[in-house]
Structure 1
Amino acid sequence: MKELHSFSWYAKHVKKHLPKDAFKPVPARLFGGLAYLLITVTSFLLIGLLNFHPLINLLFSVVIGCSFAGMGFLGHEILHGTVVRKPWLRDTLGAIAFFPLTTGPKLWRKWHNMEHHVHTQHEENDPDAWPTLEKISKMKAFRWVYRLPFSVRAFFSFASLTVQFTAHSMKMFTMYIKEFKPKTQPKVWLQIALPWATWISLIFVMGLEKWIFAFLIPLLIANFIVMAYISTNHRLNPLVPVNDPLANSLTVTVPKWVDVIHFNFSYHTEHHLFPGMSPKYYPLVKKHIKEMWPERYHEMPMGKALKALWNTPRVYFENYELVDPNHGTMYGSLGYGLDPDNVKSKTVSTTPKNTKAQE
């Protein structure tokens, strides 16, 4: 096993090469969010007030969905404190940015900032980590799912990206609501109930058909865009006992214009080293990481990462392998034998803690 280091260990070595401005908030990022907000409101009004052909409304749906996703990426940035630092302003702006994705700022900061970032790819403590074979063997529903052919599971797994962010947000709400102080819980409830109440009430204002084009289809599109990134952030990486961002995270590459409209969300390893730094400076962080630890750093084009996800199962076996319980086939993870250009499997005995590969 490779020696693992904490994110603070890496950050200490990289920080001395970065300008002081890299650690200051960048309020100018809000102009991008304002553009998305204006596009969304304008598109809503056009759909609601005029009677376009369904194909025209579908084009508006795509525009709104892309705007929802862009606002979500900015909301993620805002709630890390890299845009503004005042807590009340940070949470207010974060609530607006995440409003389309129906996720409240207090829940997000608890689930994402305090749990996922602190325990990234930890088998037990990361709420976003995918399960181990030992865990799913105890879940009847999952055992049934994994009897389906691999290609069928891959198809439905990708189709589910259209709802995964919303569904996982609801799961995180039920998981963490009791961990908030009693006086804070009503705010957390309000932050999840208000967006849903707003969006559902629009059915009665716009009518069901227009609402589908204005909100439902855009929500599915936004979920897919956001989850296309999130699913590649860690799901090809191993589970690790030490929060080592170069082992547990993947940076994907996209065209530069996509990085602009998605606020550099593709730089995920860099984000886990410096979550409190504006993504504006992540290209510089990436440069230094690649100079210092080129053999540890994981990056690949988004398309290749998604293809690798399609070709590998999402169940971990002894942390460093991905296993298909249906056929007893095992795949490596990044840094542990997975070649995204040539994904190969081997047949194994899937008895936990007693693995014997069979050539």
Structure 2
Amino acid sequence: MEDLHSYGWYAKRVAKYMPKGVFKPVPKRLWGGLAYLSIIISGLLIISLTEWHPLFFLPISFILGASFAGMGFLGHEILHGTVVKKPWLRDLLGAIAFWPLSTGPKLWRKWHNLNHHIHTQHEDNDPDAWPSLERLSQSKMFHWIYKLPLFVRAFFAFASLAVQFTAHSLKMFCAYIKDFKPKQQPKVWIQMALPWASWIGLLFLIGWEKWLFAFFIPLLVANLVVMGYISTNHRLNPLVPVNDPLANSLTVTVPKWVDYIHFNFSHHTEHHLFPGMSSKHYPLVKYYIKQLWPEKYHEMAMSKALIALWKTPRVYFDNRELIDPSHGHLYGSLGHGLNPENIDYKKMNN
């Protein structure tokens, strides 16, 4: 039987090596948010108030999109309570940080903090886990899609990263709104509707052409940046019956300056061990994990992880393997035969 342990089991053993104060909130992280907010406001004003040729707006759109994503990474940290502790201030700042991505703080904490973190890579209970062949085989569209060659599916899957976070957020709203108490539901509705209302209002204020550069293109860029991380967090890992972050999570490596502007979001295994710890301390957590369990820890360059995603299908066969149903090709997952340096498959016996 596979040697799996809960995140609490690991956390207990790593925590004793941590210096005092690592679980205290770090409000200085808000300076990064202020920088992003200043960039976003400046970019929106330039696009809205100037009459430049649209091509001059394009680089501003990319900067806005990168800032939208940066705000989302900070919002993720804020809503885990690692920046400020007061619930009303946490939710207010989280709402502001997630405003560009139009995701409300109450929905995010329900979907991400509770369901995803508690049930990571559980086929039935993790809202972010990819499904198994058994579940998907009931869909007629599934059979049609998987008749396409793998590289065609991979192309469209990667193209869809530009909308996946937004689409999944709306899906999670529909999935969880009824789980909130009746008195809480209006707040969840308002937190979802207000950002969208503001962005649609901006459309009527500045017109279609400028709106494309002020919001639509930046939203696509932000989705790509955010989903570049999210798509590698768990999708190469197996489904597991025990929430073991060393088995079900992947840490990717990026240049240090990227880690700096993205609040160490790349340290995903570390985050699942200590979601209540500021990501400022995750490099230290990584050091001790690699000292204690080097053979179980999964880490690779972001570029290599994305290439591995491109070359493997996204359907689980037996929780540990990925399957291309149209050809009966089985690919390993991390810890179960997947070699990012040489991705290969085996044929099913039947």
TM-score band by shorter chain is: over 0.9
Name the CA distance, whole Å, in 1 between partners of 2:146 and 2:135. 13
TM alignment of 1:46-125, pairs within 5 A = 46-125=46-125
Post-superposition offset of 1:327? 1.0
Post-superposition offset of 1:292? 0.2
TM alignment of 1:146-295, pairs within 5 A = 146-295=146-295
> Which amino acid letter does the alignment assign opposite residue 290 of structure 1?
K
Name the CA distance, whole Å, in 2 between partners of 1:30 and 1:288. 27
Residue 117 of structure 1 aligns to a residue whose secondary structure is helix
Residue 138 of structure 2 aligns to a residue whose secondary structure is coil
**TM-score under structure 1 length normalisation:** 0.97
Name the CA distance, whole Å, in 2 between partners of 1:162 and 1:83. 28
What's the Cα RMSD here? 0.7
Name the CA distance, whole Å, in 1 between partners of 2:34 and 2:121. 34
Post-superposition offset of 1:293? 0.1
Deviations 1:282-338 (A, max 9, x none): 000000000000000000000000000000000001100000111110100000000
Post-superposition offset of 1:136? 0.6
> Which amino acid letter does the alignment assign opposite residue 201 of structure 2?
S
Name the CA distance, whole Å, in 1 between partners of 2:101 and 2:325. 33
* Aligned structure 1 segments of 4 or more residues deviating by more than 6 angstroms: none
Post-superposition offset of 1:56? 1.4
Name the CA distance, whole Å, in 1 between partners of 2:215 and 2:62. 10
> Which amino acid letter does the alignment assign opposite residue 153 of structure 1?
R
- The residue number in structure 2 matching 1:353 is none
Residue 322 of structure 1 aligns to a residue whose secondary structure is strand
TM alignment of 1:266-345, pairs within 5 A = 266-345=266-345
Residue 3 of structure 2 aligns to a residue whose secondary structure is coil
Residue 23 of structure 1 aligns to a residue whose secondary structure is coil
Name the CA distance, whole Å, in 1 between partners of 2:22 and 2:336. 33
> Which amino acid letter does the alignment assign opposite residue 238 of structure 1?
P
Name the CA distance, whole Å, in 2 between partners of 1:289 and 1:196. 41
Name the CA distance, whole Å, in 2 between partners of 1:179 and 1:30. 31
Residue 265 of structure 2 aligns to a residue whose secondary structure is coil
Name the CA distance, whole Å, in 2 between partners of 1:61 and 1:81. 30
> Which amino acid letter does the alignment assign opposite residue 310 of structure 2?
W
Deviations 1:256-301 (A, max 9, x none): 0000000000000000000000000000000000000000000000
Residue 300 of structure 1 aligns to a residue whose secondary structure is strand
**TM-score under structure 2 length normalisation:** 0.99
Tell me how many residue pairs correspond in the alignment: 350
> Which amino acid letter does the alignment assign opposite residue 21 of structure 2?
D
> Which amino acid letter does the alignment assign opposite residue 5 of structure 1?
H
| Residue 36, structure 1, aligned to residue 33, structure 2 | no
Post-superposition offset of 1:145? 1.2
Name the CA distance, whole Å, in 2 between partners of 1:140 and 1:173. 25
Residue 22 of structure 1 aligns to a residue whose secondary structure is coil
Deviations 1:77-118 (A, max 9, x none): 000000000000000000000000010000000000000000
Post-superposition offset of 1:64? 0.1
> Which amino acid letter does the alignment assign opposite residue 231 of structure 2?
S
- The residue number in structure 1 matching 2:20 is 20
Name the CA distance, whole Å, in 1 between partners of 2:111 and 2:146. 28
> Which amino acid letter does the alignment assign opposite residue 261 of structure 2?
I
Name the CA distance, whole Å, in 2 between partners of 1:229 and 1:186. 32
Deviations 1:193-231 (A, max 9, x none): 111111011111111000000000000000000000000
Name the CA distance, whole Å, in 1 between partners of 2:110 and 2:143. 31
> Which amino acid letter does the alignment assign opposite residue 339 of structure 1?
N
Task: Structure 2: state its 5+ residue gaps.
Answer: none
- The residue number in structure 2 matching 1:348 is 348
Post-superposition offset of 1:253? 0.2
Post-superposition offset of 1:2? 2.6
Deviations 1:23-79 (A, max 9, x none): 100000000000000000000000110012222100000000000000000000000
Name the CA distance, whole Å, in 2 between partners of 1:97 and 1:173. 18
Name the CA distance, whole Å, in 1 between partners of 2:218 and 2:26. 28
Post-superposition offset of 1:18? 0.2
Name the CA distance, whole Å, in 1 between partners of 2:13 and 2:47. 52
Name the CA distance, whole Å, in 1 between partners of 2:344 and 2:296. 21
